[in-house]
Amino acid sequence: MKPRMKHIARNVLMLLVCLLIGLIIALQLKNVQTGRQANLVNNASADELREMVADLREANANLAEENEKQKNNLRELQNSQENTDIRVQQLRDEIQRLEIFAGLVEVQGSGAIITITDGQSNKVDGSMLLTIVNQLRAGGAQGIAINNQRLVAMSEIQTTGTPPNTNIVINGTVAGSGNGIYTIRVIGDQQVIHSTYDMMSATINYYLLRGIGIQIDYLDTVTLPALSADSPAYRYGEMNSTESN
């Protein structure tokens, strides 16, 4: 339990104990006063009786007022606890949303897998993958990964080396597995992805004519890995705003 929640719980417990003690004392005083008043009533005059009644009414009003104050205090503590719980849950939801957006956690959802393979004469390069990724993003894709590399705002896709010995580097890591196959995993509404893919037909046909293989499969569950902690895109999260210093 967090320190603040422990403090609130302790205050509520103390308030309940005080209410209980106050009630016990009030009952004891009432019993004592009842016994005394029974003796006084037998010997009291009418004026004295009226004065006793007035005192009892005033005491009763004071007790009622104090009781209402304690009830209000209890309600305030309960509301404070509820508001704290709601705010904590809101913060947790916001943190989870930001972690998903930043690619710091593995995520799942419906979407598609686009498989791209080297041709006999032409190999897949970074510009091809970047073109497809940018069009998917523009079409509303909610999350994208290539092979085991999660793509975020700071991700880079580059081709290194010289033909025929080239490599595709994503997030500072060589993305190819040596077999010339690149798997683009996309999470998003399948109908939206399908429409986007249709709009990419000119680009896809151009790659097909160059012998590059492209295939899309729609799946109910697509898993995107978390961004690797040693990638340059992840390390951008270590920077702090100068406004907070």
- Residue 180's pLDDT is 87
Which residue did the predictor score with more confidence, 54 or 173? 173
pLDDT at 196 over 50: yes
Tell whether 79 and 46 lie within a shared domain: yes
Tell whether 153 and 209 lie within a shared domain: yes
Per the domain annotation, does 96 fall within a domain? yes
Tell whether 117 and 70 lie within a shared domain: no
Tell whether 225 and 147 lie within a shared domain: yes
Per the domain annotation, does 237 fall within a domain? no
Spatial CB neighbours of 184, under 8 Å, sequence gap ≥ 6: 113, 114, 115, 116, 129, 132, 133, 136, 144, 145, 146
Tell whether 115 and 131 lie within a shared domain: yes
pLDDT tens per residue across span 71-106: 777 777 777 777 777 777 777 777 777 777 777 788
Per the domain annotation, does 239 fall within a domain? no
* Percent of the chain whose predicted confidence (pLDDT) is above 70: 67
Indicate the residue among 102, 136, 161 that finishes a domain. Answer: 102
| Number of domains forming the structure of the chain | 2
Per the domain annotation, does 240 fall within a domain? no
Statement: the pTM of the whole predicted model exceeds 0.75: no
Q: How confident is the model at residue 142 (pLDDT cuts 50, 70, 90)?
A: very high
Range of lowest pLDDT (127-131, 221-225, 238-242): 238-242
Tell whether 117 and 18 lie within a shared domain: no
Indicate the residue among 67, 87, 102 that finishes a domain. Answer: 102
Tell whether 192 and 156 lie within a shared domain: yes
- Residue 60's pLDDT is 63
Per the domain annotation, does 112 fall within a domain? yes
Tell whether 156 and 227 lie within a shared domain: yes
- Letter for the amino acid at 133? V
Tell whether 33 and 12 lie within a shared domain: yes
Q: Which domain holds residue 215?
A: 107-232
The secondary structure of 59-89, three-state, reads HHHHHHHHHHHHHHHHHHHHHHHHHHHHHHH
Rounded CA separation 133/126 (Å): 10
Per the domain annotation, does 241 fall within a domain? no
* Residue reference for tokens 């996309």: 186
Per the domain annotation, does 25 fall within a domain? yes
Give strand ranges (E) for the chain: 107-117, 143-146, 149-151, 157-162, 165-170, 173-174, 181-187, 213-224
pLDDT tens per residue across span 31-49: 445 444 444 445 556 666 5
> What is the chain's mean pLDDT, rounded?
77
Tell whether 163 and 74 lie within a shared domain: no
Tell whether 70 and 122 lie within a shared domain: no
Indicate the residue among 70, 102, 134 that finishes a domain. Answer: 102
| CATH label of the domain that carries residue 223 | 3.30.70.1880
Tell whether 134 and 211 lie within a shared domain: yes
Rounded CA separation 89/239 (Å): 26
Per the domain annotation, does 194 fall within a domain? yes
